[in-house]
Structure 1
Amino acid sequence: MHGDLRADTAAAVRIRRADDVLDMQRAARTGGTGPVLRWLEGRTSATAFLMNPAGTATYPARALLGDAERGLALRGARELTERRLGSVAIDEDGLTCIVLPLDGSRGSTAPLLAAVVPRPAPPELPLLLADASSVLSLSWLAEHTRRRQRRLRIAEAGTREAVLRLLMNGHTSTARQIAGALRPALPEVVRVYVIEGPPSVRGQLARKLSDMAKGAWVVPCPVYVDHLFMLVPADDAPAPASPPELAALCWIGESSAVPLRDTATGYAQAFHALAAARGRPERQASFAAGPDLALTIGPAAAAWAKAFLSPIRTHHARRTQDPDGAELLATAASWLSFHSRATAHLNIHRNTLSARLTCIQELLGLDLHRLSDQAALALALRSATAQIPPPPEGDAARAAKPVPVLDELLSLPRVGVWAQQQFRPVTGPDVPACIAETLTTWLRLDARIGPTAAALSISASAVRKRLTRAEALLSRSLLRSPSAIHDQWLALRTLDLAEQTEASAAR
């Protein structure tokens, strides 16, 4: 009879143990390490936690331990590590502490499982902890692997973003060196795509585009949270459209084929194409190339830009932490393209950006709140980097001429033709006259919506709607940077100069 009772008791213990293991496994499946530890605490009234061999609690990071509990756990961890035991149980000051190691993977140090409980400890506690150590080992290993994978993804994303920043700032050689550790390799000639979509699907969209466009670099834009930047080899077939399940949420702008060193130009082209794509049912557009003003002006633009930018190029920083001329030029180009978002593009603080802009204004004698000064600086930077053919050799008369001023460059006949082309899309017979009127008024008022609305006696929203219509007609971005606003102002100034010249001739 006693034998039957002992057998029934042993069977009940085995059943209870099996139920406990199943409960721990369910807890691990629903939430991992945390729910298992909480289940242990509820089952045994012990304080259960994970700690590293140095005795510091790792999960939960703020385990509610008094000095006595902490000291006992530290002692148990030290004995377990130094004596290489399978488990340690210590009774002291009315407390019982049990410490067991978890199983880790090669190259990783698994934590220790510890439980501290007032004496007398529940008799089933050692067995429960032994069973829990197996469940927790698997949970911890899975969580550790996910954390490592996440860190690797973050590191790779950071590296790719760094490569993008270098390309955008013209540091092609350095970008190639860093990109050499990743795949695919950067091509010599590229097409740039800017994909706009809800920030909530940007990660999903990036993964799908990476799978669909082999050999492409897909990087979340560091400036706009709703944009993706995609770089593809220009000699490949056209990049696929957005994934079918996301096509209704996205717009795509495509650049022309550009050398890798001109990635920033390709980005601006794709950004302008994106503005055109927003007004098209196919939600995708390619850049409509037009003549470049710096190339239209010719060698005189390069000479003017050299003189215009000379105060910055010859600037030497007074202190080691101050920006030199090259940094100021990069800051000017970034600010003209992105304005306040240049902080994200350059990865600098807004106070640093403000200080650099103040220095640029002082060196060049500009007021960058005025659109005219912004446009002059933008043309100078573009002319300094454009591949402008040199003047014919031996042209002594040309070399002896003084450096022209900007209005003289804009008064050239060929520049007048360029300016007419810039405004032709908004002055056609089928376009309401209010579109061109709003655009020119906006440009003359330093691209400020409020004063433009007041001057035209319309609402601010009406101004934005008309400018959005102008964007679609011009196939250029106006309201978001990088925009074509500087070219449009220069074109308007050219037309105004031509009109003044005609009026003077008529008198």
Structure 2
Amino acid sequence: MHERSGSVAESTSERRERRADDILALQRAARGGGSGALLGWLAGRTGARVLLVTADGVTTSDRGCAVPDVDLAREAVTEMHARSLDSLALDGTGHSVVSVSLGRAHEGLRRSGETPPVLVAVTARPVPDGLAAVLADASAVLDLCWRLERAEGQWRRLEVTEAHNREAVLHLLMNGHVATARQIADLLEPALPDVMRFHVVESPPDLRDDTARRCAALAPDAWVVPCPVYHDHVLVIAPAGSSALARTLAEALDGCLVGVSDSVPLRDTALGYEQAFRALVTARGRAGRWATFAHRPDPVLLIGPELRDWARQLLDPLRSRPARRPQDPDSAELSVTTASWLAFSARAAALLKIHRNTVAARLREVEALLGLDLDRLPDQAVLALALRADTRRPVGWDAAPVSDRPAPLDELLTRPAVVAWARNLLQPVDDAGLGPTLDAWLRHDTRLAPTAAELDVSTTAVRKRLGRVEELLERPLLRPPSDRHELWLARRALLLAAEPPADPAGSNG
């Protein structure tokens, strides 16, 4: 400890004043930087190497703590615990070790078998006067810091665990496993609604955790999950009656956008997410920063139950494929992986919590089973339509007769209602003169570089034009889940309705 050289011994009042100053300094260090700052202050005040030894490891007053000092500290702590002491001083060759237990308020730790933390100072001999007193005063403040930091760490771990559980429930819902999702959700709060509205809240990435907490406070009866795919999205599943929640969230969360779906059954969570994601694009152009899904009609419903028969015929090799080995994915897992990849592209691995090589291997198997090339947009669009038609259950479809010889997709796309839908959808793009850009982008499987080469412009220019198409259609194109599959179907329907049917966008397989 640094004493005044050459001075006479301090009086009692001076020692009390110095101790009071030390205690105030300890409190300031603890408030300013926690236990780390407090250890650093102690090292500067005493001139010793100061360490905090806990069951989780050793925290030092600086990063360059020598290994011998750590060994000495651990030796002193072992001796203290063996002798059930609250403090201990050991003298060695050229050094001394003074240790003070923080376990005065940790009887619960002792009862559970855990060892309480110990504050240790390693110093050269002789031991400075007052070192033990400073350590004793510091131990009380450090005890509070350690307990607070430990509680915060446990709370963060609980938050992470709960977030993972909620993400698992979301994953089950997105894949149609409603019963299993409810079993897990029953252990958490709130309960999942039977009919819900899906909300996607877009916030600055560095504020997402705070946005998620505020969403949970604003909608206590909603299921709030940070998006596992996009680090700037928070997903909110609210009861269908929460029609004003989107406005509430947008008004309360500065700088955030909110997209909300129609009221959909819980089993259609994936559809609700797609609708809310599309509505988010619309919200970017609105002063209120929120929008409800408004893209109707759905081409699946327009075509009708005949589409279900066509889809089942196309998917039959996949549906009837058994797993060759117990560890191999079955047809349901292959379908889920494919649907996730069609929606999220390269981000599907993050959503499914599997390696991207596993996703690629499953896609190759699906390609072999169905005779498709999933590198090409036409085959992607055909397969995405088939999976949607096979999993959706619109009212009246189950009562429709099943055909053994379903109509080909091209015939279904030429129905007047489908052609009218396609014309209305693409009319704003054609009127704005962006039809050639969209066609080239679809023809080149939504790859920017080949599209730019054909149009003789830069990829930046193509991206800007497609951004304008997004604004005109109020549909996502450049960020999955994209509406590129529906746009290909719409353009295909118009081409088939023309005479003769040119095909710049490819064949439907």
Amino acid at match of 1:80: M
Q: Within 5 Å, give how 1:215-294 maps onto structure 2.
A: 215-239=221-245, 240-242=247-249, 244=251, 246-247=253-254, 249-294=255-300
Q: Within 5 Å, give how 1:344-383 maps onto structure 2.
A: 344-383=350-389
TM-fit CA distance, 1:407: 2.0
Which residue of 1 is the match for residue 91 of structure 2?
A: 91
Given the alignment of the two structures, is residue 417 of structure 1 paired with residue 417 of structure 2, yes or no?
no
Candidates 157, 163, 167, aligned match of 1:157: 163
Given the alignment of the two structures, is residue 14 of structure 1 paired with residue 7 of structure 2, yes or no?
no
Q: Deviations over 1:35-65 (max 9, x none)?
A: 22222222333221111369x5245697734
Contact 2:35 2:142 in 1 (8 A): yes
Q: Deviations over 1:233-281 (max 9, x none)?
A: 112341034454743x222211100111111101100111111222233
Which residue of 2 is the match for residue 49 of structure 1?
A: 51
CA–CA distance in structure 2, aligned partners of residues 196 and 407 of structure 1: 38
Q: Within 5 Å, give how 1:272-351 maps onto structure 2.
A: 272-351=278-357
Q: Structure 1 residues 137, 390: closer, same or farther in 2, change over 3 A?
A: closer
Q: Deviations over 1:272-310 (max 9, x none)?
A: 111122223332221114122233333322222122112
Q: Deviations over 1:448-469 (max 9, x none)?
A: 3333334344443343333333
CA–CA distance in structure 2, aligned partners of residues 502 and 64 of structure 1: 78
Which residue of 2 is the match for residue 443 of structure 1?
A: 442
Which residue of 1 is the match for residue 29 of structure 2?
A: 27
Q: SS in structure 1 opposite 2:98?
A: strand
CA–CA distance in structure 1, aligned partners of residues 333 and 55 of structure 2: 48
Given the alignment of the two structures, is residue 385 of structure 1 paired with residue 385 of structure 2, yes or no?
no
TM-fit CA distance, 1:102: 0.3
CA–CA distance in structure 2, aligned partners of residues 320 and 82 of structure 1: 53
Amino acid at match of 1:347: K
Q: Structure 1 residues 500, 463: closer, same or farther in 2, change over 3 A?
A: same
Contact 2:250 2:257 in 1 (8 A): no
CA–CA distance in structure 1, aligned partners of residues 421 and 19 of structure 2: 85
CA–CA distance in structure 1, aligned partners of residues 398 and 38 of structure 2: 78
CA–CA distance in structure 2, aligned partners of residues 63 and 413 of structure 1: 77
TM-score, normalization by structure 1: 0.88
Contact 1:72 1:90 in 2 (8 A): no
| Stretch moving more, 322-331 or 410-419 | 410-419
CA–CA distance in structure 1, aligned partners of residues 154 and 61 of structure 2: 19
CA–CA distance in structure 1, aligned partners of residues 71 and 480 of structure 2: 59
Q: Structure 1 residues 107, 481: closer, same or farther in 2, change over 3 A?
A: farther
CA–CA distance in structure 1, aligned partners of residues 434 and 125 of structure 2: 85
TM-fit CA distance, 1:348: 1.7
Contact 2:423 2:494 in 1 (8 A): yes
CA–CA distance in structure 2, aligned partners of residues 111 and 365 of structure 1: 65
Contact 1:105 1:141 in 2 (8 A): no
Q: SS in structure 2 opposite 1:99?
A: strand
Which residue of 2 is the match for residue 210 of structure 1?
A: 216
Q: SS in structure 1 opposite 2:220?
A: coil
Which residue of 1 is the match for residue 506 of structure 2?
A: none
Q: SS in structure 1 opposite 2:192?
A: coil
Which residue of 1 is the match for residue 409 of structure 2?
A: 406
Amino acid at match of 1:57: V
Which residue of 2 is the match for residue 490 of structure 1?
A: 489
Contact 1:51 1:113 in 2 (8 A): yes
Q: SS in structure 1 opposite 2:14?
A: helix
Contact 1:57 1:63 in 2 (8 A): no
CA–CA distance in structure 1, aligned partners of residues 381 and 349 of structure 2: 21
Given the alignment of the two structures, is residue 148 of structure 1 paired with residue 139 of structure 2, yes or no?
no
CA–CA distance in structure 1, aligned partners of residues 452 and 233 of structure 2: 30
Q: Deviations over 1:423-463 (max 9, x none)?
A: 34445xxx32x133332332233223333334344443343
Amino acid at match of 1:19: D
Q: Structure 1 residues 161, 392: closer, same or farther in 2, change over 3 A?
A: closer
CA–CA distance in structure 2, aligned partners of residues 207 and 371 of structure 1: 39
CA–CA distance in structure 1, aligned partners of residues 234 and 74 of structure 2: 49
Contact 2:250 2:289 in 1 (8 A): no
Q: SS in structure 1 opposite 2:262?
A: coil
Amino acid at match of 2:87: S
Q: Structure 1 residues 370, 39: closer, same or farther in 2, change over 3 A?
A: same
CA–CA distance in structure 2, aligned partners of residues 194 and 106 of structure 1: 47
- How many residues get paired? 488
Q: SS in structure 1 opposite 2:338?
A: helix
Query: Percent identity, aligned pairs only?
Result: 49
| Stretch moving more, 416-425 or 166-175 | 416-425
Q: SS in structure 1 opposite 2:197?
A: strand
- Structure 1: 5+ residue runs without aligned partners? none
Contact 1:49 1:63 in 2 (8 A): no
Q: SS in structure 2 opposite 1:32?
A: helix
| Stretch moving more, 125-134 or 414-423 | 414-423
Which residue of 2 is the match for residue 463 of structure 1?
A: 462
Contact 1:95 1:118 in 2 (8 A): yes
CA–CA distance in structure 2, aligned partners of residues 184 and 391 of structure 1: 33
Q: Deviations over 1:317-372 (max 9, x none)?
A: 33444322111111110011010111111122222222222222122111111110
TM-fit CA distance, 1:182: 2.0
Moved over 4 A (4+): 5-8, 58-63, 69-72, 104-109, 243-246, 390-393
Contact 1:96 1:121 in 2 (8 A): yes
CA–CA distance in structure 2, aligned partners of residues 66 and 265 of structure 1: 59
Q: SS in structure 1 opposite 2:242?
A: coil
CA–CA distance in structure 1, aligned partners of residues 263 and 251 of structure 2: 26
| Stretch moving more, 227-236 or 44-53 | 44-53
CA–CA distance in structure 1, aligned partners of residues 331 and 61 of structure 2: 51
Which residue of 1 is the match for residue 122 of structure 2?
A: 116
CA–CA distance in structure 2, aligned partners of residues 404 and 61 of structure 1: 75
Q: SS in structure 1 opposite 2:498?
A: helix
Which residue of 1 is the match for residue 452 of structure 2?
A: 453
CA–CA distance in structure 2, aligned partners of residues 335 and 329 of structure 1: 10
| Stretch moving more, 331-340 or 155-164 | 155-164
